[in-house]
Amino acid sequence: MLITSYTRPIRLLHLESSEQDHQLVKFALRRSGGTFDVARAQTLQEFCDQIDSVEFDVILSDYRFSDFTAIDAWIEVQELERRPPFILLSHAIGETAAVDALKHGINDYVLKDNLSNLVHVLGRAIEVRDTRLAKARADAELAASQKRMAELTAHLQLSIEKERASIAREVHDDIGGALAAMKFDLAWLGRHATDPAALMHIHAATEMLQHALGASQRIMRDLRPAVLDQGLVAAIQWMATGFEKRTGIKIKLRATEKPASASKEVQLVAYRTAQEALTNISKYAQCTAVSIDISDHEDVLTVEISDNGRGIAKEDLEKPSAFGIKGLRERAKTVGGWIDISRNEGAGTSVIVSIPLVDPGANTEF
């Protein structure tokens, strides 16, 4: 970095007991063509007072003083939130002392009889400082952005589940109620009708109505699985039974513990993960068997869904359009959990969701 390219005066603190050496430094800085705002401290107390009241861009310090060394001053600098570069400007101090200073983290070392190199060292130190600060700002902005994204994801997931629950109640109360009333009316007509053609149509309509009732109940269960009120194991057992009936693929369920301490929010995340995994298995896995393992060892709820199918390819996990996988990971993050998806040796895929049971008192209702 060129000192002359700096857009404002560079604030420099010079820790130096010799007035002559201080003036030589100021002369070398003026010759560089840059603009400097130079302050001076002669004692450790003056140094501490200066760095507490002013934010300096760089610090120059002699090594030995009457009652302290540059290492003592460097230790004081460590307390600053925005630590400026610290450069030794001294006569020969010995190899051991120089190495010790650099080990402590002091940025650089310039000999007093080589002041022509001072400006170059200052520019390099300030450039490194600016790069470090820019990276810190970028990291902070990224962390804040990720936090906002996680909060938005959690809000969206909660909103989706609430909307699902609302739709499920409407299906149950309105559509389910209307279909049940129609079934009673058809039954009454069937008991009182004598015309064979009418009876045939009544029978056909009753069968279609029964199919509609079954569909509405299935939609309600998918939207808001009431069976979750019986616990996660019971809910996944129910889901596995339905999966076997639809696909003919056998599922082996093992639950080493009953995760009773899991909040409803955690159970719902685990349930939706298993649901998504089974959906993907039915579409892509080409398998003949599935196993589901549920445990809550060491206060971590773990649900693993494995199949013996063709296995997921690495490129499928990494492709930009893999929104289902991304959704699983984001959903798990909303409760502090994580997802691991891997291809089993030989064949098949494993989906594992792990969620710490750190807040068993949480009980989000949908």
Please name the amino acid found at residue 205: A
For residues 285-307, give the mean pLDDT. Answer: 93
At residue 360, the pLDDT reads 43
Domains in the chain: boundaries: 3-137, 230-366
pLDDT tens-place string over residues 221-277: 777 777 777 889 988 998 999 899 999 999 999 997 666 568 888 988 999 899 999
Hey, what long-range contacts does 24-29 have (CB within 8 A, 24 or more apart)?
A: 24/112, 24/115, 25/60, 25/89, 25/115, 25/118, 28/115, 28/116, 28/118, 28/119, 29/118, 29/119
At residue 258, the pLDDT reads 64
Q: What is the reported pTM?
A: 0.53
pLDDT tens-place string over residues 301-358: 999 999 999 888 777 776 765 667 777 888 888 888 999 998 876 679 999 999 998 7
At residue 44, the pLDDT reads 95
Give dist(CA 56, CA 36) in Å, integer.
Answer: 11
Q: What percent of the chain has a predicted confidence (pLDDT) above 90? A: 38
Sign of CA dihedral 113, 63, 93, 104: negative
At residue 363, the pLDDT reads 47
E strand or H helix at 61, and its extent? strand 58-61
CATH code that applies to domain 230-366: 3.30.565.10
Per CATH, the homologous superfamily of domain 3-137 is Response regulator (3.40.50.2300)
Q: Write the DSSP assignment of 267-288 as a string of letters.
A: HHHHHHHHHHHHHHIIIII--S
